[in-house]
Structure 1
């Protein structure tokens, strides 16, 4: 099986090595770092989510000088041959190996409780033996479950324009939005830097959805928007709680390995507009009943849909968790009806008794992310 490698040095700012295969904006005209055939594996080395600006020596007072235009350096894009709009790109996550140090920060003006926590704060973590410990929060050990906070494909020009317009309209209503901004943009190419999407918010293409279940063994399904899909990844996390409440997880750098497969016509056939994912049995904890009772591990795993804070008519709603949950549930009903030949009424009732709604993130403004998680062991009994 073909294996490609994109090497970025996590100790070097992206601007000094972008020619090796990196960027920090979403745009369909960013040139691919590698071209692969469907079924190939790619190893991708990533820089931490703030481009190495926070080191073990960083103090809370230093956070005021961070260049936020450099946030979320991404490794890629990966051009997958044969991927076209209407297809699904299956990203099968094989390995995520993080660095041995990380950080969590409170940034004034950011986070779910930003109105209550206006003071900057830094926690430095050291990771070893599968756990993270910190002198700033003594007496605790955080078990590791590494995943990538940002995974996505490039938007089409049409979708990019639609997202920019709807978020500009939302900003006009007072919503918290990160509009296009060329300051710090990579690539700094006229026509791309000033129009490209920032990486703070997730969209239909994926992006910064911070779904902590996307660990080794999970498969992410992304609706393809442009030829080749143009997949990129970054923002590694050693561990995170659902929600990522203060705006950061245990942030770190990592090496990410995944296999890419094109599912021809499946996004169009399913009418799938948002990312979805499949999980092995160990990756979804805390569920009751048939999928986790008495410590049992489901043999078939889980399938999950996602929803964000965008209404059916395309209107964006800032940080609307109810709308995100509604969209995740509607997407799950559509999936169950299609995959198991059930009516929408049957699917709705089944979702009510078996599907868990999980808050994946509440901080990536303006779009919150909710996952609807279906246990697959309930079928075929």
Structure 2
């Protein structure tokens, strides 16, 4: 089925670095219209396919996680819901993954930075991350949001308005619902990911510039108080939900249990597949899924890290 022609294109220069209702819209559209966004990567173009680990030292964090927009949707009023139909995500032919000092689930284990570039053909549907380790591409945008009730807010943590949710299930074919806090909703999007694991544990996915086509519709018959979504069927479900190796983290603190699960997965990836700790950590960020397995048997809870065995050629 042919995709609808966008009524508006948002250039990559039309972006902003905070969620703030005071930021004026770059354009207005009618409810139900399609917008095409040309988004830079999460570094705001500071990192490229030629960058190296040394480039991380010059990264200006005040410029990261910019979002394209905002777009005003005619008729949207506080109390309404904005329906966001994710029609298409087209990544560039390259992306970067990093461990950045002081950031990530295991920041204390990996104090030194590391930068990795992955090149791929977007039409192939896959990318070789490490030799013999093939990842299925599942592009999406980590940042999707509307103007918050109050601001300015950083674009790095998510909130009830959406923002940096980094939810890998929001791929093309999915529909996101966000509460409207201000007239026009003022929608923005960014932070393209070619693929990611549940958790994005190093703090990065395969970060890539992204072209996104999105339909924005005002819903006055639906009321949500925070992000909700209808997830499209996973095109790689047979692989991601097939045979998997899993490691558990168990204890009274979910964050610590998550760390323990990932640490055990890193150990297994080294033991069974010869990856060094940094290679394994970055693979966990882009391909391993963290899940809460048990949250009722107090005082201890279980977080599980799942590695699809189909990744290994």
TM-score of the superposed pair, with normalisation by structure 2: 0.73
Matches of 1:140 and 1:2 in 2, distance apart? 37
> 2:104–2:201: 8 Å Cα contact kept in structure 1?
yes
- The residue aligned with 1:153 is 146
Aligned equivalent of 2:234, options 282, 293, 300? 282
> 1:213–1:284: 8 Å Cα contact kept in structure 2?
no
Q: Secondary structure at the match of 1:145?
A: coil
**Equivalent residues in 2 for 1:122-141, closer than 5 Å:** 122-128=115-121, 129-134=124-129, 137-141=130-134
**Equivalent residues in 2 for 1:306-325, closer than 5 Å:** none
- The residue aligned with 1:305 is none
Q: Secondary structure at the match of 2:142?
A: strand
- The residue aligned with 1:8 is 11
Q: Secondary structure at the match of 1:252?
A: coil
> 2:81–2:220: 8 Å Cα contact kept in structure 1?
yes
Unaligned runs of 5+ in 2: 243-252, 257-289, 293-313
- The residue aligned with 1:88 is 81
Q: What value does the CA root-mean-square deviation take over the aligned residues?
A: 2.7
Matches of 1:259 and 1:226 in 2, distance apart? 19
C-alpha change, 1:232 and 1:274, in structure 2 (3 Å) is same
C-alpha change, 1:68 and 1:138, in structure 2 (3 Å) is same
Matches of 2:221 and 2:125 in 1, distance apart? 40
Aligned length: 246
Matches of 2:217 and 2:234 in 1, distance apart? 23
Deviation at 1:285, TM superposition (A): 4.1
Matches of 1:67 and 1:26 in 2, distance apart? 19
Aligned equivalent of 1:74, options 67, 71, 81? 67
- The residue aligned with 1:63 is 56
- The residue aligned with 2:32 is 39
> 1:85–1:224: 8 Å Cα contact kept in structure 2?
yes
Q: Secondary structure at the match of 1:61?
A: helix
Q: Show CA shifts across 1:202-237 (max 9, x none).
A: 000000010001001000000111100000000000
> 1:85–1:226: 8 Å Cα contact kept in structure 2?
yes
C-alpha change, 1:155 and 1:320, in structure 2 (3 Å) is farther
> 2:140–2:168: 8 Å Cα contact kept in structure 1?
yes
Q: Show CA shifts across 1:317-369 (max 9, x none).
A: xx9769xxxxxxxxxxxxxxxxxxxxxxxxxxxxxxxxxx957xxxxxxxxxx
TM-score of the superposed pair, with normalisation by structure 1: 0.60
**Equivalent residues in 2 for 1:1-381, closer than 5 Å:** 3-9=6-12, 17=13, 21-128=14-121, 129-134=124-129, 137-157=130-150, 160=151, 196-264=152-220, 266-267=222-223, 272-282=224-234, 285=237, 358=291
Unaligned runs of 5+ in 1: 10-16, 161-195, 287-291, 294-318, 323-356, 360-381
Matches of 1:2 and 1:262 in 2, distance apart? 19
> 2:172–2:232: 8 Å Cα contact kept in structure 1?
no
Q: Secondary structure at the match of 1:63?
A: helix
Deviation at 1:55, TM superposition (A): 1.3
Deviation at 1:39, TM superposition (A): 0.9
Deviation at 1:50, TM superposition (A): 0.5
